[in-house]
Amino acid sequence: MTINCQQVLEFCLDYIEGDLPAEEQVDFRRHLGHCPDCVTFFETYRKTPEVTRDAMGMQMPQSVKETVRAFLRDRKSGG
C-alpha cells in the first residue's frame, strides 16, 4: 500500500500513539522518507503539545497584560 500526503495527515496521531498497524507504519515511514513537506508537517505536529505546554507555563509580564487589556478595552469601546 502507498500512503499519500493526505493519509499522512490523517495517520499522525495513530502513528505517534502506536495505534497504526505495522504495515501502515512502514508505509508511513516510507512516505516520510521521500516527502520533505510531510516530514516538516509531522515534526511540527509531533512537537505542538510540547510547545503549547511551554508557552502556557510562561508568565506574561504585567506591563504586557496591561497593554493588551487597554487595547481590548479601546477596541470594545469603539476607539
Cell of 32: 516520510
The residues, ordered by sequence, that sit 6+ positions from 7 with a Cβ below 8 Å of its Cβ are 31
Spans of all domains in the chain: 5-76
pTM, two decimal places: 0.60
| Predicted pLDDT of residue 72 | 85
Concatenated DSSP letters of 13-33: HHHHHT-S-HHHHHHHHHHHH
* CA pair distance 3, 32, nearest whole angstrom: 10
Mean per-residue pLDDT, 56-62: 71
* CA pair distance 79, 68, nearest whole angstrom: 14
**Each residue's pLDDT tens digit, 19-52:** 999 999 999 999 999 999 999 999 998 888 776 6
**Domain 5-76 is found in CATH 1.10.10:** yes
